[in-house]
Amino acid sequence: MRTTVRPVSAPGYSLVTLANGVRSVRSHAEAETFHPVIGPVAEAEALYVRQLRLRERIAAHPGEFVIWDVGLGAAANVLTVLRATHDLPCAVRLVSFDHTLEPLRFALQHGVELGYFGGYEPLVAELLAAGKAEQTIGSQRVSWQVHVGDFPTWLRNTEHAVPAPHAILFDAYSPAKNAAMWTLPLFTSLFRHLDPARACAMPTYSRATLLRVTWLLAGFYVGVGHATGEKDETTLAANTLALLDEPLDRKWLERARRSTSAEPLHEPKYRQAPLTAETWERLQAHPQFQ
């Protein structure tokens, strides 16, 4: 009898089975597993779909709802968001960013094992082939484009014909591994790409003081984010207090002052440091704490 062995790895990526039995993608070059604890779909549902109240916001939105997806990777976040909202009569524009499409190609080849591609294979194949895709799936009109390249470099260029987002799925590797994606200049630039008249929220799996200070200094309001099953607390930033249930308060500010890892990364090099006097001044002047 012949046995067919399905390849489960490509040069840079492999499938891994998490402790709960769910499959995810691992990058060998970065030595990082995407969504490493509860798995891709459970994490995306908790961190983005529920926390951002995407069903309610998309249902109430009259025009195109714009989502920036920073760190497209294997597309678990965007596909989970689409599946969770596919029955709403709506138009969603996805703008994805990554410097490689390899994890997405790999994940599409292993869509059955990963379990979150069902029905979206043609959309993803179109995106991979053309860099953009448009389809109506369920009641939802989906327009998707991907920008392949270094995200910090893309942000520094202000001449973009990309609509400002209503939500940002920010999913880079951790600051220790991927410092270039967590600097204060990057988030200052990201904040400048938002439309002040368009409410926008951005969650992250991290609750690190360094990250929260960075987002505050970049111009965001910042709040405590939901637990995800993996983390007991995450972080949610927005350009309006109206999108935050639990804004960070002065008690948090005092704790940040005592933290040994609170000063933002000013350049793409990871290090830990307490707040400088200048950063402390700027934090106290933030409208959130007035």
Ligand X SMILES: C[S@@+](CC[C@H](N)C(=O)[O-])C[C@H]1O[C@@H](n2cnc3c(N)ncnc32)[C@H](O)[C@@H]1O
* Contact footprint for ligand X (CB under 6 A): 34, 40, 71, 73-77, 97-100, 103, 150-152, 171-173, 178, 180-181
Pairing of the two strands 32-33 and 167-170: unpaired
Cα(74)–Cα(71) distance, integer angstroms:
9
Least Cβ distance, residue 224 to ligand X (angstroms) = 22
Least Cβ distance, residue 73 to ligand X (angstroms) = 3
Least Cβ distance, residue 264 to ligand X (angstroms) = 17
For 280, the enclosing helix (H) or strand (E) is helix 277-284
The 3-class secondary structure across 33-49, one letter per residue, is: ECCCCCCHHHHHHHHHH
Cα(77)–Cα(90) distance, integer angstroms:
19
Nearest residue (CB) to ligand X, 71 versus 223: 71
Least Cβ distance, residue 172 to ligand X (angstroms) = 5
Cα(224)–Cα(72) distance, integer angstroms:
24
Instruction: Identify whether the C-beta of residue 110 lies closer than 8 Å to the C-beta of residue 8.
Output: yes
Nearest residue (CB) to ligand X, 173 versus 252: 173
Least Cβ distance, residue 17 to ligand X (angstroms) = 16
Nearest residue (CB) to ligand X, 115 versus 152: 152
> DSSP state, 237?
E
Cα(31)–Cα(19) distance, integer angstroms:
18
Nearest residue (CB) to ligand X, 71 versus 185: 71
CA-wise closest residue to 287 among 225, 235, 241, 236: 241
CB neighbour burial string for 46-80, b if at least 16 within 10 angstroms, e if fewer: bbbbebbebbebbeeeeeebbbbbbbbbbbbbbbb
Nearest residue (CB) to ligand X, 104 versus 262: 104
Nearest residue (CB) to ligand X, 175 versus 223: 175
Half-sphere exposure of 121 (CA within 13 A, CB side): 11
Least Cβ distance, residue 118 to ligand X (angstroms) = 16
Q: Which residue is nearest to ligand X (CB)?
A: 73
Nearest residue (CB) to ligand X, 74 versus 256: 74
Least Cβ distance, residue 15 to ligand X (angstroms) = 13
Q: Tell me the DSSP string of 71-123.
A: --TTSHHHHHHHHHHTTSSEEEEEEEEES-SHHHHHHHHTHHHH-S-TT-HHH
Least Cβ distance, residue 286 to ligand X (angstroms) = 27
Nearest residue (CB) to ligand X, 120 versus 221: 120
